[in-house]
Amino acid sequence: MKNIYLSIGALLASSMMFGQGNISLASHQKLSSAEKVKTTTPTYEKAVVIWSNDFSDPNDWAMVNTSSPTQDWEITTNANAVPVPALAPANFGTVANGYAIIDSDGAGQGASQNADLTAKDTLDLTAVASVGLRFQHTYRTFEDRRTVRVSNDAGATWTEFVITEGLNSEANVNTANPDVLTLNITSVAANQDSVMIQFHYEGNFSWYWAIDDVEVIELDDHDLKSVDIYGADISADFEYSRLPISQTRPMSFGMMIKNVGGTTQTGVGFNYDINDGSSSVETGSIGDTSIASTVTDTLFGASTYTPSSLGTYTYTLTATADSTDANMADNTMSRALEVTNYIWGLDYGTAVSQINQAGAVGIDSTDVFKIGNQFLSQAVDTVWSVDVELGASTMSVGNEFFVEVRVFDGSGWVIESTSLTHVVTASEPGTVVNIDLTDEVPLQAGTQFIILAGHYGGAFNERVSFARSGLVAESTVLFADPSDDGLTRFGGKQTAMRIRANLDRTSNNVGIEENAAQVKLGQNIPNPANENTRIAYTLEANSDVTLKITDVNGKVISTVFEANQVKGEHVFNVNTNEMAQGVYQYTITTNTGTATKSMVVVK
């Protein structure tokens, strides 16, 4: 079953692989009405546009399909025809003139698509030695196949360039809105007099593909383009937008560089500049590699500079190579790191979206939902509370959410602390809510942890929307599968949750009751629980002990235990079979006080 789509920001895969192969005319109609377009001069300036089409005239395109039921591509001016909210409205440069779309999602279950969109013009490229095909497009993946086909014999045979390969493609990944893609089609089209272009789509209750502003260009020999940058070496750390001064570390960088030129580029790397707001504090260079035409590579390296004071540090990276670049305007990108007193975050930018369910394969949209960001500590510290920014949706008002912190122990994720439930008030959608943890989370150098925000599922208007912004590296953002509470990733680059660790002790009253009670109360395992769960606690002294479970209204559901116990570690097994799905609190009372934690029961 296809995923239910999310109200999320664009999720851009960290790289694309394109294959090519030859196919015959057997399943494709030759276009006898094609009009040959001849080049007007024997040579061209580099990067010149040889041919273009903005879909303003639907008669420029031929459509053939073997879909079931019949379904062709559509040329429309409706920017909201895109079926994924995060990618609508379509933001193509000439969207008002029209664009092409094939909507597998809209066709519904049981329908399948196999459709070609072919430009009727036949291009004479005998004077062009290095040919690129450039176009704007958007899509969301789900077992659908997208290819570009190029013919040099007026449509008798075709060479195929694979964009996404059906079942072998990462599921539920969004492009940017729009993504601009340049394919090197030199091997098929250069010095040929009968070149044709075709877009091919196959889907089965999948998503869609939309295309606009198609151009055939002569590639520059030497041209790099910066695709993305990172504020860390993401193989060893995560990229932060806010970092507490107690956690500062030498700044490191990564840059995703694409060779959009016609030849292999040598000596490829990037220069960096770090500015503290008043002046440049360090410059340097990273990388020395070769990148073939139309290939994307990502380079990482570290500076020696460690921020030592509060403030915003802007890092600017510029792609370089041995040869002079034809267009330096697209070689440079910048981002900023804010060094703070206590706040630790990964989200950045002002393009804020929201999410309230996983929408992953096999996960019901009404299930308990938990999602969050990973962090890596470089020093001894303590997380005292969590700042959660809610989405702007007012449907969250009156609904409950919670926070959970897990620490990676080398083999799995262990719940270290949770929060009590928080009911969203009328003034809180679109704002940051500080959430107390029932236990502080101690950090050591090398501690990897994740902060999850969650709600308890239900109908759309029973959930809580969490805000997110800024694309971060694959596996940074994880969500919990409600069937086993295991953490998994969406795939590809992800939009960071606007969930931040707060290292300010005064922001949280954690441990006051627990310390007075002279007891260390652990988180129940597993949580959520669907049959049995274990509650562990440690007494610092002999004491009378009572353990009770209450619902969110404070009603006592069960008194699990009442007895005198000796100091030390104790564990209770709790059967949840008779408990309805929902959120509960369990409270331990000793001779000196009480301590409380939350637990979730699922069915």
For residue range 427-465, what is the model confidence (pLDDT) as tens digits? 999 999 999 998 899 999 999 999 999 999 888 889 999
pLDDT confidence tier of residue 243, bands split at 50, 70 and 90 = very high
The least confident of 30-44, 226-240, 279-293, 319-333 is 30-44
pLDDT average, residue stretch 405-431: 94
Residue pLDDT, tens place only, 392-401? 999 999 999 9
pLDDT of residue 198: 98
pLDDT at 11 > cutoff 90: no
**Alpha-carbon distances of 82 from 73, 178, 185, 503, 577, rounded to whole Å:** 13, 12, 28, 42, 44
- Beta-carbon count within 10 A of 330 CB: 15
Residue pLDDT, tens place only, 88-127? 999 999 999 999 999 999 999 999 999 999 999 999 999 9
Burial class of 176 by CB neighbour count within 10 A (0 to 12, 13 to 18, 19+): middle
- Beta-carbon count within 10 A of 562 CB: 11
Report the chain's terminal Cα–Cα distance, integer Å: 22
pLDDT confidence tier of residue 2, bands split at 50, 70 and 90 = very low
Residue pLDDT, tens place only, 307-317? 999 999 999 99
- Which conformational region is residue 568 in: left (phi greater than 0), alpha (psi within -120 to 50 degrees), or beta? left
pLDDT of residue 169: 62
Sign of the alpha-carbon torsion through 187, 226, 330, 91: positive
Closest CA to 336 of 350, 320, 352: 350
> Could you tell me the domains of the chain?
20-218 (2.60.120.200), 224-341 (2.60.40.10), 353-507 (2.60.120), 512-601 (2.60.40.2550)
pLDDT of residue 554: 72
